[in-house]
Amino acid sequence: ARSGRPRRYDDPVRVAVVAAATSAPAGPAATWTHAAIADQVAGTVFAPISASQVGRILAGLDLKPHKVTGWLTRRDTPDFWERVTDICGLYRDPPSGAIVLSIDEKTAIQARERRYPSQPPAPGRTARREFEYRRHGTASIVAALDVTTGQTLIETIQRNNAATFTDFLDRLDRLLPRDKDIHVVLDNGSSHTAKHTKEWLAAHPRWHVHWTPPHASWLNQVELVFSALTRAVLRYGDFTSRNDLIGKMDTWMIQRNEHARPFRWTYEGIPLKEAA
């Protein structure tokens, strides 16, 4: 008969379970299951153990080897806060008489068409969208946000490389008033840091680049426009072709520009401190 007290396990069994759960599986599986740990332990101790017993031991230790959390090992950037402060200062206090742009690409946007029509929402029920879809290719865009007005220019691009990027800069350079300096925020994408792009920037001294630190593209305000585009058009959109996708993105951007306002940037670019 069961006493109702928690089951206790011999220390060698517990140690073997923890040792397996905190190590990498032999493969090809990338994560552990309770059954796999039980099999592993069976080869290291003389007492057999079941998958459910493994589960109870791990639960008692709050150890979850079947779960994985994303992690970024960011390389050291000595001037991280200097770059952040510079860009935030540019947003909060733009140079007088200058143009401030935020530029980036959004690539591999899928033109997906649902196989069956979506159903509109009804009282007590959210809208329903068909799970299956047809693929009609992808589209990529490059966008330039005028930080001081909130208006955005987008263009469809065939390739995301330095030549395409500098072609876009050439068009902007011709469109923008010749008597104004241009401050531009760029991340460290390969098309931005390529030798060809740096040579273009060196040949156009009125362009002043403010580089985001590595892995800090969130500092580039145009990402806010891409986020709004995704929520409004892309996430739940239905596109019968690549051209349909491009047309809907262009139409949305034109409509947005008619009532565009600059983003209210509040972050000052200094490390956040805990309240005393």
- Is the pLDDT at 4 greater than 50? The verdict is no
C-alpha span between 37 and 217 (Å, rounded): 40
Closest CA to 141 of 253, 37, 239, 40: 253
Q: What confidence tens digit (pLDDT) does each residue in 208-241 have?
A: 999 999 988 899 999 999 999 999 999 999 999 9
C-alpha span between 229 and 152 (Å, rounded): 11
Domains of the chain, by residue range, sit at 11-60, 80-258
| CATH H-level superfamily of 80-258 | Ribonuclease H-like superfamily/Ribonuclease H (3.30.420.10)
Q: In what order do the strands lie in the sheet with 133-146?
A: 152-157, 133-146, 99-114, 182-186, 207-211
| Cis peptide preceding 28, ω within 30 of 0 | yes
Percent over 90 (pLDDT), the chain = 72
Q: CB–CB of 205/182 below 8 Å? A: no
For residue 270, the model assigns a pLDDT of 82
For residue 3, the model assigns a pLDDT of 44
Which single residue is written with the structure tokens 């690549």? 242
Q: Which residues of 50-60 are buried (b: 16+ CB within 10 A; e: fewer)?
A: eeebbbebbee
Amino acid at 141: I
C-alpha span between 39 and 33 (Å, rounded): 10
**Mean predicted confidence (pLDDT) in 176-198:** 96
Q: What are phi and psi of 100, to 5 degrees?
A: -115, 120
Indicate if the alpha-carbon torsion angle 273, 266, 217, 242 is positive or negative: positive
Q: What global pTM score does this model have?
A: 0.81
Q: What confidence tens digit (pLDDT) does each residue in 90-147 have?
A: 999 999 999 999 999 999 999 999 998 888 899 999 998 888 999 999 999 999 999 9
Q: CB–CB of 182/208 below 8 Å? A: yes
**Exposed / middle / buried, residue 216 (Cβ in 10 Å: 0-12, 13-18, 19+):** middle
- Is the pLDDT at 19 greater than 50? The verdict is yes
